[in-house]
Structure 1
Amino acid sequence: MRLDKPEKLLSGWPESRNRKWRDAAQQSVGALKTLLDGDATSAVATAYTTADDKYTIVVSGVSGTVPNPTAALDRIFATLPRLSEVEPTRPGPMGGEARCGRGEDQGVWVNTCAWADDHSIGIVAFIGFPQTGDPDDMFVRARSQIEHPVT
């Protein structure tokens, strides 16, 4: 698998210029690399936002050898204690395991989904979306735009 940063995400969301979100994505990539057996073969770390900056999606992921995808997801969500209602979700066409959880950070709703399979691990965080929103479909779409088979 190969992870790439699309120029635009979902329905044409441009990459965010907000350094806070992009730095957060970079920090997540560093943590994700520790879950690999060996070096990462590719990585993505960035954020996307709507034109009005109302909603943000932070994306981070690495590809390489993942020795235990279930344990990797357990460790990811153990580091995100503010999340609740963590439940399995559809991983999308690339397979593996995926979970999503929701929480609140300083009055802002955050829905976080993560996936892990034998060849990649990633996190997609939806920031500022309505509490009633369901990130599962957007997660599958975002992952499909980020992760590609190596040809």
Structure 2
Amino acid sequence: MSRTLREPAQKNMGSFKELLDGEPTSAVGTAYTAADEQYTALVSGVSGKVTDPKATLDRIFATLPRLSGVKPTRPGPMGGEARCGKGETQGVNVEVCAWADHHSIGMVTFLGFPKSGSADSLFVRARSQLEHPVT
């Protein structure tokens, strides 16, 4: 876990809370560095009532104007809407994937991800580690 990058992930988490219809039932905002230190992942998410997942994603990506090629991607087994886009900040490649469904909102930001790579499959894995159905 990267304590240095945890602050931006927690800031995203706070912004997501404002997109819920009511209070969050859980929240996460943290950062991890891959074991081989090739990239870092910032993870932010909240659970609660989401009235319009598509409009929620529209609002999230509207706050990220420096991303390009934002396109739908597989949301994974929990469903909902998901999109990914690419960018660069301070010479570092960035890939952002976000999801929204009727019960959660989240985003995984990959820093230092190879330009030729695609974080889509890593996004689905990360989301499945964060989010579990209520039993």
Relative to the length of structure 1, the TM-score reads 0.87
Task: Provide, for residues 9-52 of structure 1, a one-character-per-residue CA deviation record: whole Å limited to 9, x for no partner.
Answer: xxxxxx223x2x10001100111011100000001110110235
Indicate the structure whose relative CO is greater, using CA pairs within 8 Å and at least 6 residues apart: 1
- Find the partner of 1:79 among 63, 68, 75: 63
- Find the partner of 1:54 among 16, 25, 38: 38
Q: Which runs of 5+ in 1 are unaligned?
A: 1-14
Q: Which runs of 5+ in 2 are unaligned?
A: none
Equivalent pairs counted in the alignment come to 135
Match of 2:97 in 1: 113
Question: Matched residues, percent identical?
Answer: 69
Match of 2:11 in 1: 27
- Find the partner of 1:90 among 57, 67, 74: 74
- Find the partner of 1:64 among 17, 23, 48: 48
Paired AA for residue 61 in structure 1: G
Counterpart CA distance in 1 for 2:124 and 2:13 is 19
Q: Which aligned segments of 4 or more residues in structure 1 are displaced greater than 3 angstroms? A: 51-54
Relative to the length of structure 2, the TM-score reads 0.97
Counterpart CA distance in 2 for 1:142 and 1:32 is 18
Does 2:69 correspond to 1:104? no
CA drift at 1:54: 3.5
SS of corresponding position for 1:148 = coil
